Structure 1
Amino acid sequence: MRYSCVRLLELYGKVFNQTELCQLIVGKTCNSCKCPRDGHDVYHEEWVNVRDRLGYKTQADIDTKSTRERCINQGFAWIPPNLTQLKVEQYFKCLPADKVPRLGSSGEKYRAKQIQIQLPKQDLALAYCKHVESAHHSSYDDFINARNELALDIAYAKICTNKVNCPECNEALNPDDIGVLAPKFGDKFLWHPGCFVCTTCKQLLVDLAYCVHDELVYCERHYAEQLKPRCSACDEVSDFDY
């Protein structure tokens, strides 16, 4: 696998420049015209629900997920579930303006880009992997199942009832502020919405999807890279021969 991926990367390097190569590896292309997704002004025609992407199918998840209709009716590509429209606006005021996923905005593009980067499909299911050898399929599945059980989760917005300090910036959240609660850490910690970021890339965790490793918060991509090497050619995690 490693030799073939390196050879593929060498061949790509002779044909594509650095920007084009990055787009090929991360897979940021439009499903229709195959041009870079960053070239489009509108993304919501290919609306993505992160819960569906992660395979969250329980009734509780169905009841609480942000539906396409609700998001678009409020003018966003994504909104935190279980908040009133007024609280949704309050939540987004806590984020940098260019990262608020309003339809047709740079924030919508940012969200679409982060879904591709933080939640690569080849990390989520074997069906999207092209270079995991059949002898290692069982080990891959074990890795994914352990991650899903122990590390992967989706946080949610919660109205603060007591004064607490944000684990990221150590600044206070006051009663009636909106914070982010990550269930894997219990109910004693709340992050400022703008502080709920990946430990490695420092990007906002897209749609509040996160992983935990050594009591730190990561996006799924960088969580996987804490445990497995990632091939720079095919962008798949590897080393399942154990």
Structure 2
Amino acid sequence: MRGEEQWVVLWTPANRSFQRDLELLMMSVSQQQSGRGVPCLRCRGMCTGFEPHSWRKICKSCKCSQEDHSLSSDVEDDRKIGRLLTDSKYATLTARVKGGDGVRIYKRNRMIITNPIVSRKDPTFDTITYEWAPPGLTQKLAMQYMELLPKDMQPVAGTDGAYHRRRQLMRQLPVYDHDPSQCRGLAEGEVKLMEDFVKKYKAEALGVGEVALPGQGGSGKEEGKAQDTGSATGKTPETTNGALESTPAAGLYHCEACKQAVPADCPVVYADRAGYSRQWHPACFVCCQCAEPLVDLIYFWKSGAAWCGRHYCESLRPRCTGCDEIIFSEDYQQAEGMAWHKKHFTCLECETLLTGKAFSLDKGSLRCATCSRSKRL
């Protein structure tokens, strides 16, 4: 790196820009939620702009998903993650919105690296902004962590990596998986079922990974000493959703996923619900189902593995292929291993209810016989 780096960390409670964003939040939310007219990144000019469907999570114009239109913004994303972490043991990663009637926002750690360029008489600066970075790290460790991620997944502002992060937030942590007010498929009486579902997974599965050097997870070196003490007595504590385990001896650290050795001077990811005897290479901390890196290190622990929010919820309840929401009714439609709310078992084109009628099914899209013939012509 050139010259002497300057390290700037944003999104701390004392930071003025953070407070300003909190105050602007409530004014901007309603405008951001509709997203009307936003171009589709998949159609590349063919779509006339996002036109929201009344209950499907797609554009009525091009049939592409909300993710393909990149509808979210930094402020809205922070609000959604704040809602997810509220009422969990990770609520310290959120802050209350001033005048927001109890609403909390994610204290996203944003990182700016400024390198002076001294090749000219008047110095200039080369600035790199990371739209997210693990909190609580030194400059050196944070940069090491970023360099261990694939280049196209490093969330540098204005790059494909930043867009990928935003898309993954929508995909892995859909707001309608934890906020009943964002659901269109809930019937009367099912709101309480969903609230209990969310409360349970916040208490038992939700986690946020921690970045540290091998052997320094948890509360740091002091906790590591306590773990080593337990190991010296010959006892091996078991792990149940975050209970401590004994840590390996120095030089014997291995990645939980790839099983390769972990250098003692390279950062790793810890998941407190897995216990601190396990660690992952930054690029190996992925969902056990889709193998995608866990966005912002947010995971759900189940059956000895880390899951993204989407696939964790689907492992417990069916997801409607039509509206993409979790189904809380025991009476739903099924076809070819997929599920639908009964009222959403409809033709993608004409919205005709297809229960008891002939239909075609192509990559999750239902069409009645008439619309299916028209599409083939």
Aligned to 1:135: 189
Q: Which has the higher strand share?
A: 2
- Opposite residue 135 of structure 1, the aligned amino acid is G
Q: Which stretch of the first structure deviates more once superposed, 83-92 or 112-121?
A: 83-92
Aligned counterpart for 2:134 among listed residues 80, 104, 125: 80
Cα distance in 1 between the residues matched to 2:91 and 2:197: 25
Cα distance in 1 between the residues matched to 2:311 and 2:175: 14
Identity of aligned residues (%): 29
Aligned counterpart for 1:214 among listed residues 303, 308, 315: 303
Cα 1:217–1:205 change in 2 (3 A) is: same
Superposition pairs for residues 81-120 of structure 1, below 5 Å?
A: 81-120=135-174
Can you list the C-alpha shifts for 1:141-160, whole angstroms capped at 9, x where unaligned? 11111111101111110111
Can you list the C-alpha shifts for 1:149-177, whole angstroms capped at 9, x where unaligned? 10111111011143311111011112121
Aligned to 1:5: none
2:267 aligned with 1:178 = yes
- TM-score computed with the length of structure 1 as normaliser: 0.79
Q: Runs in 1 of length 4+ with deviation above 4 angstroms?
A: 43-47, 65-68
Report the Cα offset of residue 67 of structure 1: 4.7
Cα distance in 2 between the residues matched to 1:62 and 1:139: 25
Aligned to 1:3: none
Cα distance in 1 between the residues matched to 2:76 and 2:157: 12
Which protein has the larger Cα radius of gyration, Structure 1 or Structure 2? Answer: 2
Aligned to 1:4: none
Aligned counterpart for 1:145 among listed residues 193, 199, 209: 199
Q: Which stretch of the first structure deviates more once superposed, 105-114 or 74-83?
A: 74-83
- Opposite residue 56 of structure 1, the aligned amino acid is T
Q: Which stretch of the first structure deviates more once superposed, 110-119 or 167-176?
A: 167-176
Q: Which stretch of the first structure deviates more once superposed, 153-162 or 218-227?
A: 153-162
Aligned counterpart for 1:28 among listed residues 67, 80, 90: 67
- TM-score computed with the length of structure 2 as normaliser: 0.52
Cα 1:37–1:76 change in 2 (3 A) is: same
Q: Which has the higher contact order (CA 8 A, sep 6+)?
A: 1
Cα 1:191–1:49 change in 2 (3 A) is: farther
2:177 aligned with 1:123 = yes
2:93 aligned with 1:61 = yes
Secondary structure of 1:48's aligned partner: helix
Cα distance in 2 between the residues matched to 1:164 and 1:50: 35
2:209 aligned with 1:155 = yes
Cα distance in 1 between the residues matched to 2:77 and 2:189: 36
Cα distance in 1 between the residues matched to 2:63 and 2:106: 34
Cα distance in 1 between the residues matched to 2:91 and 2:293: 27
Superposition pairs for residues 216-235 of structure 1, below 5 Å?
A: 216-235=305-324
- Opposite residue 110 of structure 2, the aligned amino acid is C
Can you list the C-alpha shifts for 1:28-84, whole angstroms capped at 9, x where unaligned? 26xxxxxx129x9xx657663775142337674359x9855x615341110001111
2:103 aligned with 1:71 = no
Q: Does the CA contact (< 8 Å) of 1:44 and 1:103 recur in 2?
A: no
Q: CA RMSD of the aligned region, Å?
A: 2.9
Cα distance in 1 between the residues matched to 2:209 and 2:306: 11
- Opposite residue 61 of structure 1, the aligned amino acid is L
- Opposite residue 21 of structure 1, the aligned amino acid is K
Q: Which runs of 5+ in 1 are unaligned?
A: 1-7, 30-35
Q: Does the CA contact (< 8 Å) of 1:72 and 1:103 recur in 2?
A: no
- Opposite residue 155 of structure 1, the aligned amino acid is G
